Structure 1
Amino acid sequence: MSRAIQRLMKDYRKAEQLVGRSSNEPFSDFANTATFTTQTYAQQMAQIRRDPDLTQDEKKYLVAVE
């Protein structure tokens, strides 16, 4: 498996852990701003940036898109 595909699968698994398996949940749950505040977003992004498997370029990209 190529490095890019492995990275995508890892990112997908991380996103699934953060969001949960939400295919059966109504969309309105995600529209509720009280459950996902700016502080929560900042904490999640900081946690992702601390991932030891990220390369320096990937960390710079995450900071740039934030």
Structure 2
Amino acid sequence: MKLYIEFEKCCGFGECVALAPDLFRMGDDNRAHLIGDGTVNQADEERARTAAFACPAEAIGVDG
């Protein structure tokens, strides 16, 4: 599974960081950024999906 962020949609709410701080971080631009290349191991997939679907701006996508 792989995550991606549509930066033009991100409003910096930080829900993703609160739910999965090992997968997302807030950048200096007050937008969410992925930690690493967005690849999520199988053990973390459910938490990653929860964080993605919690995004109020629908800026986080999931492939796989």
Normalising by the residue count of structure 1, what TM-score does the alignment of the two structures yield? 0.31
Q: Which has the higher contact order (CA 8 A, sep 6+)?
A: 2
Normalising by the residue count of structure 2, what TM-score does the alignment of the two structures yield? 0.31
Q: Which structure has the greater CA radius of gyration?
A: 1
Q: Structure 1 or 2: larger helix share?
A: 1
